[in-house]
Structure 1
Amino acid sequence: MTSAALAPMSGNSLLSDGGPALGDSEFAAIARIMMAEARIHLPPTKKVLVHSRLSRRLRDNGLKSFKDYIDFAQRDAEELRLLVTALTTNHTHFFRESHHFDHLRDVLMPQLQRDPARAPVRMWSAGCSSGEEVYTLAMTLLGTDRAQSEWMRGRDVRLLATDISEPVVRAAAEGFYAESITEGVPEAYRRAWMVREGAGYRMADTARALVSAKVLNLFGDWPMKQRYDAIFCRNVMIYFDDTAKSELEARLVDMLKPGGFLYIGHSERLIGPAAERMRSRGNTIYQRTDGAS
């Protein structure tokens, strides 16, 4: 890439393909919107990405400049939601960072199975994207064959999947994945809990029945009243500044049962009050060790 390609452009100029350019002032305005709506930090290095993802929104609305688009989005709540959705990164795959699911299977599940009170089991995939994570959770709990899922018979087990993006939440609820997406699923799990459908696989009814997929802004109000045995919030906090990370992590810890586990991404860490209430139990695996409400 030449240095000229990185030079600031006027918001009224056009690119060589005839599309409107994204000026520095317009990018700054979009960055402020993302911070206000989703606490997502957009550094200047994301300018090309922002231009690419929002250019279609300009075309769909018949607008000729990013300034006009920003003015429109700030007046229209639905377009504001679509702006945030367009700039939300959704990248995931089945059994990503598999050591987390090994820990779930080998450490947490035996604890749940030994619970004499047979208390409800609650787990949350926060920032679920298109659902691969929450269905990996479901398959891990169910095991590789029907016999291994017997411990769940008569047990109240529910998995919550949330994301700020409505399209990916719909995809999670549908539970259908192209064959290429399922290549990382071990064959025993795929055979037990996936059903061939056309050019891909749909999650079996038993797995889908465990999952409830909802739109949720992690920095908005949380309607959930129960606490969780495990929360997966992985590769989400990399998009936030330290203030937002500290706030979110503290709220996540509050939502854990005493002794519950928080799983975060490989490049993430606990900071602020959350770090004082948790103990490391493995690579990016933390357990709530205080009993405070």
Structure 2
Amino acid sequence: MSVMTHSAADYTLDPASFATIARITHAHAGITLNDGKRQLVYSRLAKQIRKRGLSGFGEFVELMQSDAQVRREAIFALTTNHTKLFRENHHFDHFAQALRPRLIEAAERGRPVRLWSSASSSGEEPYSLAMTLLGDNRAAGARLVQRDVAMLATDLAPHVLSVAKAGRYPGEMAKDVPERYRRVWTTMEGDQMVMAPELKRIIAYRQLNLLDPWPMQGKFDAIFCRNVMIYFDEPTKARLIERFAELLAPGSFLYIGHSERVIGPATDAFEPAGNTIYRRRG
């Protein structure tokens, strides 16, 4: 008896299946999949179909509708996780110049310092932010770690959070880290770059869907939400920005992606402070 196997090329993504996948993805993750994303959906979900030994997209869509775990895995697969260390470096330059001195002073006085990387992916953004906060002096940075300083790093997909928690990256990524930080906060182990324990100590990684209720109660000094809202429709973007405004302390900053902008009812709560940087009024 022969066993039939399928390659990804054997499947057909019909319009009805694509429409259902798009509807489910929007409902559960806020991500909008227009027709231009059809090839991305095909390539990423065909792997899921093949792994499960299913006949095609029709059967897979039925499972997405009835099985929460299949649905979660499909949405994780569709989540784009392209990132790099010190991506859009002007944000970190601004943070170092405009916010870091104030945060260090506050920490020395015993006030909590709170940062949020709201779409942390595999950790490149929070580690970049942590290095910028701790600075290029290891002893001074270690003292700061002993204060009430914490960063929340969240993402929808647990598999990228596990990479982030490990804090180990291919050695070639070292070129993206400014030398003044690289020599202080990273080490090379074989062909891997390893993040220093002090960086890991101030970062708490948690799984979070930005569309769900948020457990955080206190105010943040800075929120990074970069290159996420490009996947949302306008009402979802507006509500997300409104929720960020509610959690940002007066005078704190919101950093968003290069092709994103602040929209909706919360617009008046912010004033421009740089290229895709907004200061919370008050």
- Separation in structure 1 between the aligned mates of residue 7 and residue 148 of structure 2, nearest angstrom: 58
- Separation in structure 2 between the aligned mates of residue 66 and residue 58 of structure 1, nearest angstrom: 7
| Alignment match, 2:187 | 195
User: Does structure 1 conserve the Cα–Cα contact (< 8 Å) formed by 2:120 and 2:155?
Assistant: yes
Letter in 1 for 2:71: L
- Separation in structure 2 between the aligned mates of residue 194 and residue 253 of structure 1, nearest angstrom: 34
1:217 paired with 2:209, answer yes
Letter in 2 for 1:211: I
> Residue 234 of structure 2: which of 227, 242, 259 is its match?
242
Letter in 2 for 1:259: G
- Separation in structure 1 between the aligned mates of residue 76 and residue 135 of structure 2, nearest angstrom: 34
Letter in 1 for 2:134: L
1:97-112 residue pairs with structure 2 within 5 A?
Answer: 97-112=88-103
1:265-284 residue pairs with structure 2 within 5 A?
Answer: 265-284=257-276
- Separation in structure 1 between the aligned mates of residue 146 and residue 206 of structure 2, nearest angstrom: 25
Aligned length: 276
Q: How far did 1:71 drift?
A: 0.4
- Separation in structure 2 between the aligned mates of residue 39 and residue 175 of structure 1, nearest angstrom: 28
| Alignment match, 1:231 | 223
- Separation in structure 1 between the aligned mates of residue 140 and residue 93 of structure 2, nearest angstrom: 15
> Residue 140 of structure 1: which of 132, 144, 167 is its match?
132
| Alignment match, 1:49 | 40
- Separation in structure 2 between the aligned mates of residue 182 and residue 130 of structure 1, nearest angstrom: 15
- Separation in structure 2 between the aligned mates of residue 16 and residue 213 of structure 1, nearest angstrom: 36
Report the secondary structure of 1:78's partner residue.
helix
TM-score, normalised to structure 2's length?
0.94
User: Does structure 2 conserve the Cα–Cα contact (< 8 Å) formed by 1:113 and 1:151?
Assistant: no
| Alignment match, 1:21 | 12
Q: How far did 1:93 drift?
A: 0.7
| Alignment match, 1:128 | 120
| Alignment match, 2:23 | 32
- Separation in structure 2 between the aligned mates of residue 150 and residue 179 of structure 1, nearest angstrom: 24
Cα RMSD over matched residues?
A: 1.6
Letter in 1 for 2:248: L
Query: Percent identity of the aligned residues?
Result: 47
| Alignment match, 1:8 | none
> Residue 170 of structure 1: which of 143, 162, 171 is its match?
162
Report the secondary structure of 2:163's partner residue.
helix
1:113-142 deviation line (CA, Å, top 9, x unaligned): 333743111000011111000000110011
> Residue 68 of structure 1: which of 59, 75, 92 is its match?
59
Letter in 2 for 1:276: D
Report the secondary structure of 2:91's partner residue.
helix
Query: Which segment is superposed worse, 150-159 or 61-70?
Result: 150-159
- Separation in structure 2 between the aligned mates of residue 206 and residue 151 of structure 1, nearest angstrom: 10
Report the secondary structure of 2:267's partner residue.
helix
| Alignment match, 2:3 | none
Q: How far did 1:18 drift?
A: 4.8
User: Does structure 1 conserve the Cα–Cα contact (< 8 Å) formed by 2:221 and 2:253?
Assistant: yes
- Separation in structure 2 between the aligned mates of residue 287 and residue 95 of structure 1, nearest angstrom: 21
Letter in 2 for 1:266: H
Structure 2 gap ranges (5+): 1-5
TM-score, normalised to structure 1's length?
0.90
